[in-house]
Amino acid sequence: MKFGGTSLRDAAAIRSVCEIVRSRMDSHPVIVVSAHSGVTDRLVGLAESAVASTSAIDDLVERHAKIREELGIREDLHGELFHELQDLCRGIHLVGELSPRSRDYILSFGERLSARTVAAAMTAAGLPASAIDSFDIGVRTDSRFGNARLAPDEGRILAGLSDIRGLPVVTGYIAKDAAGNITTLGRNGSDLSAAYLGNAIDADEIQIWTDVDGVLTADPRVVPSARPIAEMSYDEAAELANHGGKVLHPASLAPAIQKSIPVRVLNTHRPDSAGTLIVKQSDDPNLVVRCIAHKRRVTIVNVESSRMLAQSGFLARIFGCFQRWNISVDMVATSEISVSITLDNTENLDDAVRELEDFATVSVEHDLGLVCVVGHGIKNRLGVPARVLDPLHRTGVVVRMISLGALKVNVSLVVDGADLDRAVRALHDEFFEVGGPEHG
Ligand code: ADP
Ligand code: ASP
Ligand code: MG
């Protein structure tokens, strides 16, 4: 059972979490927690400002003190961690430099603090629990600070958990590399921690408890009328997560898929609502589109070379260059002499562009939006691309790039950043409001 930051935002929310867990003790849960909402953002700010000034952590200390007080938890619970954080900030200030390694070290405090709070709250509520830093039960990664990849588990986690007394409350998002440095899994990474632990212990189910009624037909912040999806397949959920659906971390489906463990997304504030069940196969013959996902701040790189006309190896050269600069490519559209590629992350892009310019003309456009129509039914319905393009055309959204994946679980489009919300709403209207999904 993974509880996200919004599910742990204050004492009242943590009390609800205790009651949810109490009602499910029969299934012997392992609890995974995020930092209280907003804490990781605050730690990011702290890390960045520590270089220039001796940072004050008073607001963080107060926020945690208030939660402890309201929950009746002992006052000295976080003392050591806050000392360590203060020392770390001082050290960063002294050396005048923030390495990716020390940044991850600072970011790890959010989860380490909240796991202690939640375990103490559970214990106070009569559910004896232990706070566990995930690395103490063998959660290991490589050393890609800020976006570390989990190492295969090989039975370590099960062995690590077997010594724990009471209900285990494990930190999400953080781990250690082989050298013992603290790493993080990328923002939103607690979902991934939960899926990895669920895989390691052969869980019956991986539950992601959040602040909405499950996976919805679109991001409710853009489409307020978005509705919960009762059931969807792993690959649909993976497409949604990969295309910006913040409700799940993009890599969080893989550990579930590997062992066919169902994933359920549930609402901490409404624990009786059914939520969304994500399983291997969920084919509803009447359903065409399951949901609309979107992503902001997408970059397109256009690479064109008339010299490569009728020559082999053009794509290999381009992708080789992105690989060398460790740039992950998202969507691709090609003709014989030109390629358009979308990226989320523009780190190293200038270097890659310089290299591409040796054999091609390159242009880069920033701040575009990606909208993705997800659903298994797309592969069986010839009319879907027309139904995707028509409402966009009608609402005056200019489509810059299109991709209909080979698996045909999604149709993705790149639009101007300023048109993105309008595009998402137009597509949601088309598939969910006008005819309804079963109308497909
Ligand atoms: P947590 O703190 O529980 O990890 P997140 O903020 O990371 O919560 O993820 C939940 C949020 O994801 C929701 O509040 C919602 O705004 C956003 N979201 C984006 N797309 C979707 C979607 N298709 N379905 C549900 N929520 C979505
Ligand atoms: N606390 C981390 C974040 O805010 C991880 C998570 O919430 O999943 O990104
Ligand atoms: Mg999250």
Index of the ligand 1 atom closest to the CA of residue 37: 2
253 within a domain of the structure (yes/no): no
Number of structural domains found in the chain: 2
> What does the pLDDT read at residue 313?
83
Residue 89: give its domain's CATH number.
Answer: 3.40.1160.10
8 Å CB contact between 349 and 362: no
67 within a domain of the structure (yes/no): yes
Residue ending a domain, among 186, 203, 220, is 203
Ligand 1 lined by 188 (C-beta under 6 Å)? yes
197 within a domain of the structure (yes/no): yes
> Nearest bound ligand to CA 114?
2
In angstroms, rounded to a whole number, what is the distance separating the alpha carbons of residues 175 and 301? 34
In angstroms, rounded to a whole number, what is the distance separating the alpha carbons of residues 366 and 297? 7
State whether 322 and 173 are in the same domain: no
List 292's β-bridge partners, or say none: 373
Residue 338: give its domain's CATH number.
Answer: 3.30.2130.10
8 Å CB contact between 167 and 130: yes
> What does the pLDDT read at residue 435?
56
282 within a domain of the structure (yes/no): no
DSSP 8-state class, residue 216: B
Q: Name the stretches of the chain with pLDDT < 50.
A: 437-440
8 Å CB contact between 1 and 207: yes
State whether 64 and 161 are in the same domain: yes
> Nearest bound ligand to CA 268?
1
State whether 159 and 301 are in the same domain: no
Q: How is residue 299 written in tokens?
A: 């970059």
Residue position matching structure tokens 């090989």: 154
Ligand 1 lined by 246 (C-beta under 6 Å)? yes
178 within a domain of the structure (yes/no): yes
State whether 57 and 177 are in the same domain: yes
Other Cβ atoms within 10 Å of 54 Cβ, number: 12
Provide the strand spans (E) within 305-422. Answer: 329-334, 338-343, 361-374, 399-404, 410-416
If you measure from the C-alpha of residue 379 to the centroid of ligand 1, how many angstroms do you get, rounded to a whole number?
27
How far is the first Cα of the chain from the last one, in angstroms, to the nearest whole number? 34
In angstroms, rounded to a whole number, what is the distance separating the alpha carbons of residues 230 and 214? 8
> Nearest bound ligand to CA 265?
1
State whether 308 and 422 are in the same domain: yes
In angstroms, rounded to a whole number, what is the distance separating the alpha carbons of residues 190 and 180? 20
If you measure from the C-alpha of residue 11 to the centroid of ligand 2, how many angstroms do you get, rounded to a whole number?
19
In angstroms, rounded to a whole number, what is the distance separating the alpha carbons of residues 125 and 341? 53
Radius of gyration of the chain from its Cα atoms, rounded to whole angstroms: 23
Q: How is residue 386 written in tokens?
A: 């027309």
State whether 195 and 296 are in the same domain: no
Pocket mutation for ligand 1, best pick of 247, 268, 294, 420 (most atoms within 8 Å of C-beta): 247
If you measure from the C-alpha of residue 4 to the centroid of ligand 2, how many angstroms do you get, rounded to a whole number?
7
Provide the strand spans (E) within 7-144. Answer: 31-33, 129-132
Pocket mutation for ligand 2, best pick of 8, 32, 34 (most atoms within 8 Å of C-beta): 34
255 within a domain of the structure (yes/no): no
8 Å CB contact between 315 and 356: no
Index of the ligand 1 atom closest to the CA of residue 210: 3
Residue ending a domain, among 179, 203, 227, is 203
> What does the pLDDT read at residue 439?
45
233 within a domain of the structure (yes/no): no
Pocket mutation for ligand 1, best pick of 16, 246, 252, 432 (most atoms within 8 Å of C-beta): 246
Answering whether pTM is above 0.75, one says yes
142 within a domain of the structure (yes/no): yes
Residue ending a domain, among 149, 180, 203, is 203
Index of the ligand 1 atom closest to the CA of residue 268: 3
Nearest CA to ligand 2 atom 6: 188
Ligand 1 lined by 247 (C-beta under 6 Å)? yes
State whether 14 and 161 are in the same domain: yes
Q: How far is CA 292 from CA 237, 249, 269, 281, in A?
A: 11, 16, 24, 19
Q: How is residue 200 written in tokens?
A: 């390691």
Domain around 298: 291-432
> What does the pLDDT read at residue 438?
43
Pocket of ligand 2 (CB under 6 A): 4-5, 34-35, 40, 110, 172-173, 187-190
State whether 52 and 191 are in the same domain: yes
If you measure from the C-alpha of residue 174 to the centroid of ligand 2, how many angstroms do you get, rounded to a whole number?
9
